[in-house]
Structure 1
């Protein structure tokens, strides 16, 4: 079975490609390399350098490789930047998804796993986010991901009205928060906006890592977030793909959450322990809009997608640090 991975040269996408291969499935990658890296794609995996906004190339890729399903990770993923670049965000995430869906319908590809985001929830007023928690995105990025979910559901409904169930789109959307760690030392997170790369980069250049606010109503005063290991995440994407390909019906949305979360100070303490670099984080003012705690349950995904937190916080940090060290001077600026 061949699966197309959009954004398969990125941090999460490249881990999904590895997980597909380990499961005996044949991945094909399409990526415009706007944030991904060609070297993240294994040499024996077909790679098409193109944007998903190029509908003809997407259709040709689906057709040429006999694609059975798509794991859709391509998109503009920076929530903060999306506030300054809303049109770009909507073009990449909404029009890109619509173009992909048009190509899938035209080529008869009926299985789709969508990489959504916990940004669809905004700042929920609950201790533990579930799939029933109301969505209230607070950035163009979060809005674009929620619209993507709507588009997919609409296409599925349109395909099933009065038609054969075999012709309808089988789909699920996976929402998650902070993805960290590395499943193999040759793959690593290069985002200039994520906590782990920011701290590692500061340490590598002799700067002091920063904590934005230590006066939140949490046990240690710093924000609590859901951190999940990228390899655990990739595994559940593949399980979702396998179940859809088998004709099974999944929930429209799953949260891939830890159920507990970790504080920023816990992250800093673990990084200090793992790296052996002694530092005391500099405390900066709170960032506007940062909620004290956002943590999701993963119970539904545990039931249906073999979701589990197989890596503790130390393993997350250790694997990410090993990959960062191995990258050395090859680490992208």
Structure 2
């Protein structure tokens, strides 16, 4: 079922992500007959901009997540959508939603998709529960445990609201620029920002797709600098706990990390893979009781099962490595 945010995005299209800032001089919003009076008013209003760093409403989160999802799909050469890929997406969503059900936000409308990108070994997430993995990453998996590891890590970024923190910083900065007259935005956009600043900090982006596009673009600029080291460690810890809750062996996640490359691009701020592996190993150990069992979890049955036959879609049907055979 298409959400309201998706309906707006479908109408606006990718052009929303390159919306221009025009048509309004925010300096005109300030009141007072003299420069000092205007500056005092602007300072007061600018302080109120910090309200926009509050957690957005779920409706606002879905709107932002949908916009970022469109960006990922465009950048990732589109989704794998051939008829033969349906089974793959169903399988991905079964594994992903099982993990998400163990998370701190099980009621989000989690959506998992495969980008037809054969050059980047990568996965990404967006607020609202949008998770994408690239075709190249899937081609490198050995078993379902490794798939669970990468999905659990991205689920953790969503539940920890890492992208939402960057979005909040974007809203505050935009509001401050508008308040001091250093940015020119459409009048309707300024009105929406003012309503959020003077209210509870949330924005109605479904009714302002242009503002949604602008804020999404600025948020993407921050996200492309990468998460911090601590955010990556934090997501790894949560990923391990989700895997254990769903019955997967965390060692499969360690094996997945061994296939990643250190540094460069969006990974420049990430910890080295050995650091992450050591951190995960220590966290798993910390979760164990003296007798070796996990607190609140059973160690019996931890597994890394073979991948579904649906994975033939990402391998062109030429390899069955780590793929279970169909049983008839």
TM-score grouping bracket, smaller chain normalisation: under 0.3
Higher relative contact order (CA 8 A, sep 6+): 2
What TM-score comes out, normalization by structure 1 length? 0.25
Greater share of residues in strand = 1
Greater share of helix: 2
Q: TM-score, normalised by structure 2?
A: 0.25
Which structure has the larger Rg over C-alpha atoms?
2
